[in-house]
A and B are shown apart, each in its own frame.
Chain A
Amino acid sequence: MLETIVNNLSNIMPEVIVTVTLCVVLIVHLIDRKNMQIMTLLSIAGLFAAFYVLTESIGTNNSTFSGMLSVDPFAIFFKIVIVFATIVVVMMSRFSDEINAEYRTIGEYYFLLLSMCLGMMFMVGSSNLLMMYLTLEMSSLSSYVASGFTRKAKDSSEASLKYLLYGAFSSGVMLYGISIIYGLTGTLDLVGINHVLMQGSSSHLALITASIFILVGFGYKISAVPFHYWTPDVYEGAPTTITAFLSVASKAAGFAMMMRAFKVMFIDSSVLDLPAGAWTLISGVQIQNALMILSVLTMTLGNLVALWQDNVKRMLAYSSIAQAGYMLLGLVVLSNDGFSAVMIYFVVYLFMNLGAFYVVMLLANKTGSEHIDNYRGIGKRAPLLSVALAVFLISLTGLPPTAGFIGKWMIFLSLINAKMIGIAVVGVLNSVVSLYYYIRIIRNMFLRDDQTETTEPIRFPLAQQILLMSLLIPTLYFGLFFNQLIEFAQLSVQMFGMK
């Protein structure tokens, strides 16, 4: 027994490293409360070790803990995205005035960040419905607390309450759906469920109800309309570092879990010879249309409401809802092409979205507000920062030569290959709408003058500029040299137990 556990542990080495790191951080926090430096260094060291182990384990494809967790290329790809996002956010936190003001509880902050990361790493690998629910809650519970981390601020407290209420409700509904699936199939294992469903004796009505209930849980995690109500408030109220983390890592984990659930659980394994890695769903759970409606609603509402936001953080929250809509398009295709497009999009999204939030955070450090009027004349006062923000925003719109263009291009390409031209047109039209509000920020920065006539330049330390460059350069690099990224994503589509 003990031997099997130890053997299984070697399969989840990155998670073990993160667990050890978060324990160490908590202990150091108890010994030396205010030593922020050492806790940052410890977290970064632990995360880099986990990152290294992950890159070494690329290509592994097996299942561990009696089928509860899959360690397959698909999971490893998303774990790399999540761990990298955590590293960037830990570094960002070091420069955030908001977080530094709470230096007394800084150990708890890193603890929460690492446990979110841990929960998400388990999320992307879980291949059992119970495990999915537990890991979803594991990352959610830490997120609720982390979004209320600056607990003396009213907005942060409100954010954590709203996140909690919506999160607890949605995951409860999801659990009810899981219990119905269990009743229909007698198992919680995704592959096992698929085997039973393939025999086709289950009631269609119950099955479709259960899958919609489960979709509520996923929809909440990826903030898809109509389960998005928490997103703007939480993203605006939470500390900017946490907002950045939630918008990238949490969304990536939610997407990975959703993709695995729908593919492994509902794939019709008798039809496998379709071109371009396409597959179909078992008759009776044709949720493709539901996904399509969800994705169109998500991007349209996200983009339209973002048009009249004056708080840049809130605008980016709506923009991230819209981005989730584009990514859902990749799921609607139901093919490996679509999935790899979503994965490429996530790598790109990681750099551009973290970058945008990073600049917003740095400017808020200096000006104390995220209101769009505060961006007037910033182009002259902080040229490097403004140019970087402009690049990130152009990339979020999806214009060449930035990486965002490649991400969108791959998604639309997979749609066109699957002959879904209509929905691709909706996606392109949405990108045009999104250009308007992204450009508003850029216009304020470069073409509008500050009314208060302050022209003194805003200076940023070298360390902050280095982090900025390490997000800016990949955003431009992947826009030009994307072959390796695409190859890596296409190799990583493989899930354990699937052909």
Chain B
Amino acid sequence: MTITLTHFLLISAILFSLGMYAVLTRRNAIMVLMGVELILNSANINFLAFSRFGDMNIEGQMAAIFVIILAAAEAAIALAIVLNIYKRFHTVNVDEISFLKD
């Protein structure tokens, strides 16, 4: 069986859905961020697959590199914020952090 563009797109769609599911159902801030990470990487797979199989330019691979760097920066900032939250609230459960509400 040869691996084609469709396979890659399928994988990325599955990853995206899993990421979406994690963001919507998990209550732990770290798990939500991992879901976001899945979404970013599913987009990366799309970029790479299109660039490789679609007879396209190298722009897609370039985009993927930038996104990887940005994901790292985002993770650093996200973990710092979550750490700060843990210090204040002694929990990282998103539902319990509701100091502000209507």
Of chain A, the residue at the smallest CB distance from B56 is: A186
Report the Cα distance A155→B101, complex, angstroms: 10
Task: Give the distance to chain A from B97, nearest Cβ to Cβ, in Å.
Answer: 5
Tell me whether B73 is interfacial, beta carbon within 8 Å: yes
Most chain B CB within 10 A, of A137, A152, A159, A168, is at: A168
Q: Is A38 located at the chain interface by the 8 A CB criterion?
A: no
Q: How many Å from the CB of A218 to the closest CB on chain B? A: 16
With a cutoff of 8 Å between Cβ atoms, the chain A residues found around residue B67 in the complex are: 133, 175
B42 neighbours in A (Cβ, 8 Å): 176
**Cross-chain contact of A158 among B43, B73, B100 (Cβ < 8 A):** B100
Give CA–CA (A492, B63) in the complex, Å.
31
Given contacts A154-B88, A155-B99, A172-B43, contact A179 B50 (CB under 8 A): yes
B7 CB to closest chain A CB (Å) equals 14
Residue of A130, A169, A176 near B46 (CB, 8 A) is A176
A289 to chain B, nearest CB (A): 25
A254 interface hit (Cβ, 8 Å): no
Q: Does B82 contact A (CB under 8 A)?
A: yes
B43 and A178 contacting across the interface, CB-CB below 8 Å = yes
Cα A179 to Cα B61 with chains together (Å):
11
Q: Are A157 and B84 in contact (CB under 8 A)?
A: yes
Asked if B14 is an interface residue, CB under 8 A from chain A, the answer is no
From the candidates B19, B74, B85, B94, name the one contacting A157 in the complex (CB within 8 A).
B85
Would A179 and B99 count as touching, CB distance under 8 A?
A: no
Whole-angstrom CA separation of A187 from B47 in the bound complex: 11
Look across to chain A and name the residue whose beta carbon is closest to the beta carbon of B73: A141
A176 to B46, CA, bound (A): 8
- Contact partner, B43, options A159, A176, A237, Cβ 8 Å: A176
Known A-B contacts A144-B81, A161-B29; A182 and B60 likewise in contact (beta carbons under 8 Å): yes
Is the Cβ of B78 less than 8 Å from the Cβ of A168? yes
Residue of B nearest to A233 (CB): B100
- Are B100 and A155 in contact (CB-based, < 8 A)? yes
Per-residue CB contact flags for chain B residues 18-49 toward chain A (1 = under 8 Å, else 0) read 01000100000100110110011011101101
Shortest Cβ gap from B17 to chain A (Å): 11
Contact mask A317-337 → B, CB, 8 Å, 1/0?
Answer: 000000000000000000000
Residue contact A148 to B81, C-beta cutoff 8 Å = yes
User: Does the CB pair B39–A176 fall under 8 Å?
Assistant: yes
Smallest CB gap from A310: residue in B: B102
B4: Cβ under 8 A from any A Cβ: no
Within 8 A of B (CB), among A462-494: none
CB distance from A184 to the nearest CB of B (A): 9
Cβ–Cβ < 8 Å partners of A160 in chain B: 81, 84
Across the interface, B36 reaches (CB within 8 A) one of A172, A182, A236, namely A172
* CB-based nearest A residue for B64: A179
CB-CB under 8 A for A186 and B54, given A161-B81, A165-B29, A169-B23: yes
A413 within 8 Å of B by Cβ?
Answer: no
Chain B: minimal CB distance from A498 (Å): 22
Interface residues of A in 133-184 (CB under 8 A from B): 133-134, 137, 141, 144-145, 148, 151-152, 154-155, 157-161, 164-165, 168-169, 172-173, 175-176, 178-180, 182-183
Given known contacts A160-B81, A165-B94, A188-B59, A179 and B100 CB-to-CB distance under 8 angstroms = no
CB pair B97–A158 under 8 Å, yes or no, is yes
- Chain B interface residue count: which class? 35 or more
Chain A residues whose C-beta falls within 8 Å of the C-beta of B101 in the assembled complex: 233
In the bound assembly, the distance between CA atoms of A133 and B19 in angstroms comes to 19
User: In the complex, what residues of A have CB within 8 A of residue B32's CB?
Assistant: 165, 169
- B81 and A137 contacting across the interface, CB-CB below 8 Å: no
Looking at B12, B49, B78, the one whose CB has the most chain A CB atoms below 10 A away is B78
A134 and B66 in contact, given A158-B99, A179-B50 (Cβ under 8 angstroms): yes
CB distance from B11 to the nearest CB of A (A): 13
Provide the residues of chain B in CB contact with A168, threshold 8 Å: 33, 36, 74, 78
A310: min CB distance to chain B, Å: 10
Q: What separation, in Å, do the CA atoms of A309 and B100 have in the docked complex?
A: 12
Cα–Cα, bound, A141→B23 (Å): 19
A149 → chain B closest CB, angstroms = 11
- Bound CA–CA A305/B88 (angstroms): 29
Chain B residues with CB under 8 A of A169: 23, 32, 35-36, 39
Within 8 Å CB of A309, what residues of B? 102
Query: In the complex, A179 Cα to B46 Cα: how many Å?
Result: 6
Which B residues are in CB contact (< 8 Å) with A186? 50, 54, 56-57
B32 nearest CB across to chain A (Å): 6
Q: A161 contacts B74, CB within 8 Å?
A: no
Contact A145 B81 (CB under 8 A): yes
Structural contact, B39 and A173, CB atoms closer than 8 A = yes
| Interchain CB contact under 8 A, A175 and B40 | yes
* CB within 8 Å for A154 and B63 given contacts A134-B70, A164-B78, A182-B50: no
In the complex, which residues of chain A have a beta carbon less than 8 angstroms from the beta carbon of B16? 176
Nearest chain B CB to A129 CB, angstrom units: 8
A and B contact pairs by CB, cutoff 8 A, 27 listed: A130-B59, A130-B62, A137-B70, A137-B74, A141-B73, A141-B74, A144-B78, A158-B99, A159-B100, A161-B85, A164-B81, A165-B33, A165-B94, A168-B74, A169-B23, A169-B35, A175-B43, A176-B16, A179-B43, A180-B46, A182-B47, A182-B59, A182-B60, A183-B50, A183-B54, A186-B54, A186-B57
Q: A169-B36, A236-B100 are in contact. List 6 more A-B contacts (CB 8 A).
A: A157-B84, A161-B97, A165-B94, A179-B60, A186-B56, A237-B99
Please give me the 8 A-B residue pairs with the lowest Cβ-Cβ distance, nearest first.
Answer: A179-B46, A172-B39, A183-B50, A175-B43, A186-B56, A168-B36, A179-B43, A176-B43
